[in-house]
């Protein structure tokens, strides 16, 4: 029981149990009228072991954010992501890494 509490406390500090972004590739789009809210595409590698392609750098009402790949065969009214982080701190870590690399690429 103490081990579970220790893990929760450790994760609350913004550290990760096992996943970290080890590589980021960003492909910014040139500004054009047809691009809409999509500003670029990105691929990431987690722990040098898992590649996730198809991340999108989007421009929303509150600024830039990272959107995850969508299932093209889903027939519901909503969109469904193929993959997405389950923990908020992992989502923030991925978004920070991708947006940092995006800002460096467009500068």
Residues 21-64: pLDDT tens digits? Answer: 999 999 999 876 666 789 999 999 999 999 999 999 999 999 99
Model confidence, pTM: 0.79
pLDDT value at position 12?
A: 53
Distance from C-alpha of 94 to C-alpha of 33, rounded to nearest angstrom = 28
**At residue 7, does pLDDT exceed 50?**
no
User: Quick one: average pLDDT of 13-21?
Assistant: 72
Distance from C-alpha of 81 to C-alpha of 69, rounded to nearest angstrom = 6
Q: Which domains does the chain have, with CATH numbers?
A: 16-106 (3.30.1120.40)
Residue 66: strand, helix, or coil: strand
Distance from C-alpha of 46 to C-alpha of 72, rounded to nearest angstrom = 24
């Amino acid at each position: 029981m103490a081990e579970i509490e220790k893990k929760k406390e450790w994760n609350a500090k913004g550290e990760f149990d096992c996943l970290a972004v080890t590589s980021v590739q960003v492909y910014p789009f040139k500004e054009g009228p047809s691009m809409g809210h999509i500003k670029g595409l990105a691929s990431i590698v987690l722990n040098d072991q898992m590649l996730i392609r198809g991340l999108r750098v989007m421009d929303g009402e509150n600024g830039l954010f990272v959107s995850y790949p969508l299932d093209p065969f889903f027939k519901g009214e909503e969109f469904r992501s193929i993959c997405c982080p389950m923990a908020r701190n992992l989502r923030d870590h991925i978004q920070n890494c991708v947006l940092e690399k995006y800002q460096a690429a467009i500068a």
